[in-house]
């Protein structure tokens, strides 16, 4: 499966099943993309979260975009 479709289906599944605010989504992203799928190391995830905290807007949305960019370009 291409990286782009893989990213789409992973985030689609999360969008259909995860509830809560941005802080809850950070936990879902860590469990899915660091522990289960191993798309990122724990250190890379932490660095990306720190970067997203500095930017205006919801950090979970920016983190999702960052993970997708790292995975599929």
Q: Are 8 and 68 in contact (CB under 8 A)?
A: no
Q: In the prediction, which pLDDT does 69 show?
A: 94
- Counted domains in the chain: 1
Confidence band for 1, pLDDT divided at 50, 70 and 90: low
Query: pTM of the predicted model, to two decimals?
Result: 0.88
Judging by beta carbons within 10 Å of its beta carbon (0-12, 13-18, 19+), is residue 15 exposed, middle or buried? exposed
Higher model confidence: residue 73 or residue 9?
9
At 15-67, the pLDDT tens digits run: 998 888 888 999 999 999 999 999 999 999 999 999 999 999 889 999 999 99
Domain limits at 17?
3-72
Question: What are the φ/ψ torsions at residue 59 (nearest 5 degrees)?
Answer: -65, -30
Query: For every residue of 8-70, which 3-state class applies, written as one string?
Result: HHHHHHHHHHCCCCHHHHHHHHHHHHHHHCCCCCHHHHHHHHHHHHHCCCCHHHHHHHHHHHH
């Amino acid at each position: 499966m291409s990286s782009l479709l893989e990213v789409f289906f992973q985030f689609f599944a999360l969008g259909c099943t995860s509830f809560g605010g941005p802080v809850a989504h950070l936990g879902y992203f860590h469990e899915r993309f660091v522990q289960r799928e191993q798309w990122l190391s724990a250190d890379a995830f932490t660095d990306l979260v720190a970067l997203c905290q500095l930017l205006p807007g919801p950090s979970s949305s920016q983190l999702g975009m960052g993970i997708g960019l790292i995975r599929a370009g």
